[in-house]
């Protein structure tokens, strides 16, 4: 029983911390399908497949197979990296 209570408490704390983190922009230049985005805000963006990402920011970018950043992640593009993959949306952290 104590384990369940501890697990619930830890989950609640994690959720509260995730909600408390302010939305901040990535610093740098993100180029998606040839379009440059300077200091892109954290969030989900639509894209057309194939998705070409050149990540010159300080944040990770995830490309998702489906719209609204749903479905499996088809590429994780770390800062300073590039990737081209299929997808319908991408998320900037």
What is the C-alpha to C-alpha distance for residues 77 and 70, in angstroms, rounded to an integer? Answer: 17
Q: What is the pLDDT of residue 24?
A: 78
**For residue range 54-91, what is the model confidence (pLDDT) as tens digits?**
999 999 999 999 999 999 999 999 999 999 999 999 99
Backbone angles phi, psi at 16, to 5 degrees: -65, -40
Q: What is the pLDDT of residue 23?
A: 60
**For residue range 10-28, what is the model confidence (pLDDT) as tens digits?**
444 444 444 444 567 899 9
| Strand locations in the chain (E) | 28-32, 35-38, 43-46, 51-57, 61-64, 73-77, 82-85, 89-92
Is the predicted pLDDT of residue 2 greater than 70, yes or no? Answer: no
- Global pTM? 0.75
What is the C-alpha to C-alpha distance for residues 80 and 67, in angstroms, rounded to an integer? Answer: 25
What is the C-alpha to C-alpha distance for residues 31 and 1, in angstroms, rounded to an integer? Answer: 50
Q: What is the pLDDT of residue 42?
A: 97
């Amino acid at each position: 029983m104590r384990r369940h209570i501890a697990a619930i408490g830890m989950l609640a704390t994690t959720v509260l911390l995730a909600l408390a983190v302010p939305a901040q922009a990535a610093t740098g230049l993100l180029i998606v399908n040839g379009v440059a985005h300077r200091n892109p805000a954290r969030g989900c963006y639509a894209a057309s497949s194939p998705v070409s990402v050149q990540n010159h920011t300080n944040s990770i970018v995830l490309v998702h197979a489906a719209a609204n950043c749903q479905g499996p992640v088809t590429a994780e593009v770390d800062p300073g990296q590039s990737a081209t993959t299929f997808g319908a949306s991408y998320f900037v952290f």
